[in-house]
Chains A and B, each alone.
Chain A
């Protein structure tokens, strides 16, 4: 099976712009989670989608939003970009229909967003 894919891999934006990142999970996976990785804050959870519904949300401002489509592909959007949004954004998918103890999340390569 192909792994989790994320597009684009690199993105440069300026302050005030908005951006949309895309994630395609492993075929058959219905749960998609997003994480922000920065040198200062490390890996921080943004949100999780399951069957097109947001199931969990991290402590990020409303400028960060996401959605999931019926084919389980997911997008996240950041509006009114700030310099501090520069980060590696990781997507992870999980195989099970109901979360079971110990089930694995598979991570994508990430999208590197630079805000100038």
Chain B
């Protein structure tokens, strides 16, 4: 069965410092990977997806199939980046089922 691991429950960085939220997955096929974010008192929303290879709010994530990782990175953290971040996997072929990691709380301190 597929699995998503986010090893850090909490990541605290200073404003302007680089951010890396780790995500590893286990799946023998070719999955689709996503990062979802939940800001305080807001609903869960898509941040970015590996297939579009885009940068959103300064965040990027590269799918590394050899290391089965999809780490989320941002060169300079901003206060507004403080939120809960979830890495999620979807299997290719049929359905919208997302398998989520346990999430990482990012706290950006001034």
Interface residues of A (CB under 8 A from B): 3-4, 31, 33, 35, 42-45, 48, 55-56, 58, 90, 92, 94, 99, 101-110
Interface residues of B (CB under 8 A from A): 32, 43-46, 49, 51-52, 86, 92, 94-103
A105 near B103: Cβ-Cβ < 8 Å: no
Q: Is the interface of B mostly helix, strand, loop or mixed?
A: loop
| Contacts across chains A and B counted by CB atoms under 8 Å | 57
CB-CB < 8 A to A92: which residues of B? 96
Which of B44, B98, B100 has the most CB atoms of chain A within a 10 A radius of its CB? Answer: B44
A21 to chain B, nearest CB (A): 16
Residue in B46, B52, B86, B99 whose beta carbon sits within 8 Å of that of A105 in the complex: B46
B95 near A55: Cβ-Cβ < 8 Å: yes
B100 near A42: Cβ-Cβ < 8 Å: yes
Residue of B nearest to A3 (CB): B43
- Known A42-B103, A43-B86, A90-B44: A105·B49 in contact at CB below 8 Å: no
CB-CB < 8 A to A110: which residues of B? 43
Top 7 closest pairs, chain A to chain B, by CB: A102-B51, A43-B100, A56-B95, A107-B44, A42-B102, A56-B97, A102-B49
